[in-house]
Amino acid sequence: MKTLPVVDLLVIVAYLVGMVAVGVYFSRNNKSADQFTKASGKIPGWAIGMSIYATFLSSNTFLGVPGKAFGSNWNSFVFSLAMPLSAWVAARFFVPFYRHTGEVSAYTHLEHRFGAWARTYAVACFLLTQLARMGSIFFGIALSLQALTGYPMATIMVVVGICIILYTVMGGMEAVIWTEVVQGVIKTAGALIILWLVIDGMPGGVDKIIEIGKADDKFSLGSFSPNFSQATFWVVFLYGFFMNLNNFGMDQNYVQRYHTTTSIKEATRSIWLCVYLYVPVSLMFFVLGSCLYAYYLNNPELLDAIRMQVAGERLPNGSPEAIRQLAATLSPAEFGDKVMPHFMVNKVPAGLVGLIVAAILSAAMSTISSSMNASATVFSVDIYQRYLNPKLTDGQSLRLLYIATTVFGVLGMITGIAMIGVKSVLDIWWMLSGIFAGGMLGLFLLGMISRQTRNTEALTATVIGLLVIVWMTFSPQIPDEYAFIRSTFHPNMIMVVGTLTIFLVGLILTRLRGQKGEPISEINPKNTVVKL
């Protein structure tokens, strides 16, 4: 399918023009850096909740989750089941903390707590995480649209990226939030349409899908054994708890939104609205993946076509026989991400394709625009104004935010292009985010919870934690003769072990020092500690 019907193209163009128009509309209000980053604190809590939900529901969810469910089971849904616990911790402790400090950056207080190194380290981890996030999402959107249009993935990333940059730069945080409200509705509607089309086209309907799913163990949440070397229920739950706590508790994308609403109560409500929306909707995407599995198993000619497509991409210069041989060896996990784009190309009727493409664009654009705005804010506050020019005028700060937002958007596109060829977009995102975020969350928790931990203990604990993270990350590359020193943990445990190492080592070193630190007031924004 090299060209889309005119009606679908019109829907896509109308959507892109509409998003840019929102940026133009809100550009009237962007007269200060505070408006660009906080929307002047006047956004209602329900809109913030929809915005956070839309950020969570990225193209990694839209494409990666059905692909994951197609290739394996519902084990990854345990990530969503951990979300309510993380949300409770964030609503109870983190939101009041940030509202009391008043700092737009999530990382400013780390310098007050431990020194400039802590703030710089957290900022570096955050920016690397955002590049990984934006890159994986750009890749996901290009993967789908390439199947629909035939255009090169890099070209798709550039065109979509330019649209995102335009409305994010012009409209600031206010445009990001309100476009995400719309995008949240569009992407949810798009997923429901695809789910309905799959079930409607399946002989035997839901009963047949359940029968096939049960026979092939597609609904399993994973093993409940205490085995941390595989993706068991507990491994994914721990990863989900710490990663969601990182998102709600210290990710600038979310922390920045807590300042855009009118009160702590409204900010807290926004977190819970996100949870109430995301958990059932994420389950819907796993259901969709299982439905697609049953559908394609019932249509082997379609399954063979996907196998040949993936084999041809892996052997671009291979002979037809070599491609057929490779196609026969491919497992569902190796082509799961290709299934939903293939279904859209072949089974979605004209008129609905444009809406679904708009939904996938929404899934990508909502998260990327948030990452761009948050990255620009962190760069402006924590790097440029901290180290280069602390006396910027408001006009200079606003211009810096414009430039930084554009630069990070371009870097995200470049990262996405570099990811072309990965096996699973969800796996690569989980791995990269776990590596970058693990040490950052451990340091953050240490600073917020421990009253007595000082700079020396925090720095030592962070160094030890980073060494553990590096060891776990690169264990597979250790030569066979040194196999005994390889980590036996599943890669998702990097986030968990890294966080706990920094936090617990910091507490142990503090206890060994054997001295009581100075009391730290809870309401002092320069040195705040949370009482648990």
Is residue 528 in a domain?
no
Domains in the chain: how many in total? 1
CATH of the domain at 479: 1.20.1730.10
Band (79; pLDDT cuts 50, 70, 90):
very high
Residue 99 lies in a domain: yes
Mean pLDDT across 126-150? 79
Asked, for residue 180, whether it belongs to a domain, the answer is yes
Residue 522 lies in a domain: no
Residue 317 has pLDDT above 60, yes or no: yes
CA distance 103 to 108: 7
The reported pLDDT for the residue numbered 515 is 53
Give the range of the structural domain holding residue 331, as residue numbers without chain letter.
Answer: 6-513
pTM, full prediction: 0.81
What pLDDT was estimated at residue 429? Answer: 57
Whole-number Å distance between alpha carbons of 448 and 52? 23
Asked if the structure places residue 62 within a domain, the reply is yes
Average pLDDT, whole number, for the chain?
A: 82
Question: What mean pLDDT comes out for the span 47-63?
Answer: 80
**Residue 1's pLDDT band (cuts 50, 70, 90):** very low
Average pLDDT over residues 404-421: 85
- Cβ atoms of 236 and 222 closer than 8 Å: yes
Would you state the pLDDT for residue 59? 67
Q: How far apart are CA 320 and CA 325, in angstroms?
A: 9
pLDDT, tens digit, for every residue of 446-481?
Answer: 888 887 888 889 999 999 998 898 888 888 888 888
Which residues have a Cβ under 8 Å from the Cβ of 92 and sit 6 or more positions away? none
Residue 517 has pLDDT above 80, yes or no: no
Q: Is 80 exceeded by the pLDDT of residue 224?
A: yes
Closest CA to 345 of 155, 157, 149: 149
pLDDT (average), residues 214-238: 90
The phi and psi torsions of 221 (rounded to 5 degrees) equal -90, 5
Who has greater pLDDT, 311 or 85?
85
Of 247-256, 264-273, 517-526, the poorest mean pLDDT is in 517-526
The pLDDT tens digits of the residues spanning 228-257 come to: 888 899 999 999 999 899 888 888 878 888
Length, in residues, of the chain: 532
Q: Which of 387, 352, 445, 435 is nearest to 133 (CA)?
A: 435
Interval 524-532 mean pLDDT: 45
Report d(CA 280, CA 82) in Å as an integer.
13
The closest alpha carbon to 423, from 300, 338, 299, 301, belongs to 338
Is residue 1 one of the residues assigned to a domain? no
**Of residues 324, 323, 329, 314, the one with CA closest to residue 421:** 314
In a domain, 529, yes or no: no
